[in-house]
A and B are shown apart, each in its own frame.
Chain A
Amino acid sequence: MVDLIYQLFPYAIAFTIPLLITSLGGLFSERSGVINIGLEGLMLMGMFVGAFTITRIEMTNPATAVWIGLLAAVFFGALFALLHAFACVTLNANQVISGIAINMIASAVTVYLARLITGSGNVQIIRGMSRVTIPILSEIPVLGRLLFTQTYATTWLVLFILAFATFLLYKTRFGLRLRACGEHPHAADSAGVNVYLMRYMAVMISGACAGLGGATFIVTLSGEFNGTAAGLGFLALAALIFGQWKPWGILGATFFFGFASTIANVSQVIPVLSQIPGIYLKTFPYVITLIALVLSSKSSQAPKAVGEPYDKGKR
């Protein structure tokens, strides 16, 4: 059993990280007052851009291709999110419908482009990111083996971004303003905050994070763009709600969901686990999120103004 946990842990963490960073992106957007159902589409865009960029350059620069791919995914994720921001902030559109449109545009356009490039619509990279064992730290009993062996560099990058984002949101002027836009935009506006600008920035950050999440999934786990994010973006959305719109909450939620999904994914090959029916493990994140919503219905932590277009005239 202990061995099994040691075996599963690296996979569970690898599965958690793309969810975590995407969920964190959603956190920025929703904390500023813009619902982001489009996380799935933004992630898919990151997957496509990441895989495409890497296939183009991995022959000539094998050492840096993966990192350039991740960077490109971040950039295009942010750019694509601009479409959502434009609709939600400038045009006062229905944020849910715009998010759905983002998902549909992403899946149509990326597969369209992928088909033009490869014919089949799948974009496969040759070499993903390699795992590294951190010296010294990996010598720590138990924890060393769980956390510091066979890790991806992206895992540490994402955890660093999480810590930085927490600092940004709760300890800086920028973070306070951003959160104010999601709680009471009119008050923020009267205090001199440019609500439109803050929301634009927040939505673009969410696009950058989701793009990074998608590309991370490609370089660590799947190695291939195949035209779907398979619900990862929605799982990240569930984690955002289950984590009650708090950075450390979503860390717990994504790890919880990531571990359950990993057990379900490997249960066919590991006899001990095949006794747990996969259906419970896979539906568990969504069921528990619904339960959490019911339980927290009296004291919801959701940003108060999320989903409402900001109308200056109503101040």
Chain B
Amino acid sequence: MKTKVRVKKDLYMSLFAVLLGLIAGAILMTATGNNPFDGFYFLFRGGLMNIERIGNTLATATPLIFAGLSVAFAFKTGLFNIGGAGQMLIGGLCATAIGLTFDWPKPILLSVILVAALIGGALWASLPGLLKARFNVHEVVSTIMMNWIAYWTVFYLVPQYFKGPFLETESQRIPAAASLKVPWLTSLFDGSYINLGIFLAVVFVAIIAFILERTTLGYELKAVGYNRDAAEAAGISVNRNIIFSMSIAGALAGLGGATFYVGFASNMQIGVLPAQGFDGIAVALLGANSPWGVFLAALFFGLLHTGKGFMNAMTSIPPEIADTIIATIIYFAATSVLIERNWDKINKIRLDFMIRKREAEQLEADSGGE
């Protein structure tokens, strides 16, 4: 369980990383002859200025929430899932395939699509889990390999079975019944990309928070993450938990793929690894691996991604500034040890000061009492 001090520290560290990211963005804008204040003004305005854009911000954040949850969940068991992109692709492929194949009523079709995406992602990630548990193959390497296997699988399967009518490089559009977009939500947000995925994301944030904090499974997963040998000695099956953890992480990323390919978008492009898979790592780091932290971090990144097009239209700043800010945040999050060390130093000085003051007061009170 996290203490209050720990949560406060995580919050400050995250805000500090964001600040450094924004500064890096400002430096890049200035260095290329643009006014950073204008840039940030239009960047944030582009994500928030009307109800449609707020809807788009939420829709962009949806796959990021799932991708971030996926990374954060695996982190809790001490595993580094950088296969989110591949798991998203497989989840999206399962969702698209079912959406294009079956002609069922919307509630049934959507349920099957989501279950298929979940299972697809889980199976795709269970292999690296199995390889880690059984053969001690490092999950970072195996998930990278799985990403590219997924990339080429989609690259060849989509044109072969679901080729779009106009372009070789994309699938057919899914029918309205297979889309997570629903008319009432779309019209409520003035025709934005928002879809049922955002509700699903909130539900899963709550479920994951519950699993981690309130169930035996969550306790065991975290125990394996804290100290593998101690967990083993306490009778927890490390290997089983590693496979579980990777599968659940994969299931989350698979669902994220569904919310992207049959929610935000309506077809699949081949030859692209979804950037959300890697952005998810930034989301998890920024959210300090806590489910609600991930939720907030994903909203922030959704805002950056939604606003970048508007900023590009209003200024001459290329939209990649948003990606630069996110990449810089990852870099600083990776190096947060430095910040953490200084944070501890400052805290120690403050604590020393307080103790000394207390002692002085005590001394004074003692001498006054005599």
Contact = CB atoms under 8 A, between A and B. Distances in A.
16 contacts: A35-B140, A93-B335, A96-B80, A97-B281, A98-B334, A101-B328, A104-B327, A104-B330, A105-B328, A109-B28, A112-B318, A121-B318, A231-B273, A238-B148, A279-B152, A282-B155
B318 A115 contact: yes
Interface of A: 35, 37, 83, 87, 91-94, 96-98, 100-105, 107-109, 111-113, 115-116, 121, 231, 234-235, 237-238, 241, 277-279, 282-283, 286-287, 289-290, 293-294, 297
Nearest to B323: A108
Contacts, number: 127
Given A290-B145, A294-B137, A87 B155 contact: no
Contacts of B334: 87, 93-94, 97-98, 101
A103 B327 CA distance: 8
Nearest to B157: A279
A286 B145 contact: yes
A238 B282 CA distance: 24
A105 B331 CA distance: 9
B142 A104 contact: no
B285 interface: yes
B73 interface: no
A102 to B, nearest CB: 8
Nearest to A290: B145
B1 interface: no
B82 interface: yes
Q: Which 5 A-B pairs have the closest CB atoms?
A: A104-B327, A108-B323, A97-B334, A101-B331, A115-B318
Nearest to A277: B156
B156 A91 contact: no
Contacts of A97: 281, 285, 330, 333-334
Interface string B112-138: 000000000000000000010001110
Nearest to B135: A297
Given A92-B337, A108-B324, A234 B278 contact: no
A121 B273 CA distance: 19
A230 to B, nearest CB: 8
A82 B28 CA distance: 18
B42 to A, nearest CB: 16
A109 B316 CA distance: 15
Interface of B: 28, 32, 80, 82, 131, 135-137, 140-142, 144-149, 151-153, 155-157, 273, 278, 281-282, 285, 316, 318, 320-321, 323-324, 326-328, 330-331, 333-335, 337-338
A231 B145 contact: no
B327 A105 contact: yes
A121 B144 CA distance: 27
Contact of B141 (A92, A98, A241): A241
Nearest to B273: A231
A93 B28 contact: no
A83 B153 CA distance: 34
Given A87-B335, A97-B334, A290-B142, A234 B148 contact: yes
Contact of B152 (A101, A102, A283, A289): A283
Contacts of A121: 318
Determine which residue in B155, B278, B327 has the highest number of CB atoms from chain A within 10 A of its CB, and name it: B327
Contacts of A109: 28, 320, 324, 327
A312 B10 CA distance: 27
A228 to B, nearest CB: 9
Contacts of A278: 152, 156
Given A109-B324, A289-B145, A101 B137 contact: no
Contacts of A286: 145-146, 148-149
A93 B337 contact: yes
B327 A115 contact: no
A171 to B, nearest CB: 29
A26 B215 CA distance: 42
Contacts of B316: 116
Contact of A108 (B32, B131, B285, B327): B327
Residue from A104, A107, A293, A297 having most chain B Cβ neighbours under 10 A: A104
Contacts of A111: 318, 320, 323
B70 to A, nearest CB: 15
A142 to B, nearest CB: 33
Given A108-B320, A109-B324, A113-B32, 4 more contacts: A97-B334, A104-B327, A105-B328, A112-B324
A294 B131 contact: yes
Residue of A35, A97, A121 with highest tally of chain B CB at under 10 A: A97
Contacts of B335: 87, 91, 93, 98
A294 B135 contact: yes
A238 B145 contact: yes
A97 B335 CA distance: 9
Given A111-B320, A234-B148, A101 B327 contact: yes
A294 to B, nearest CB: 5
A105 B327 CA distance: 5
A112 B28 contact: yes
A116 to B, nearest CB: 6
Nearest to A264: B152
Contacts of A104: 278, 282, 323, 326-327, 330
B129 to A, nearest CB: 13
Contacts of A92: 337
Given A96-B140, A97-B333, A297-B137, A112 B152 contact: no
Nearest to B337: A92
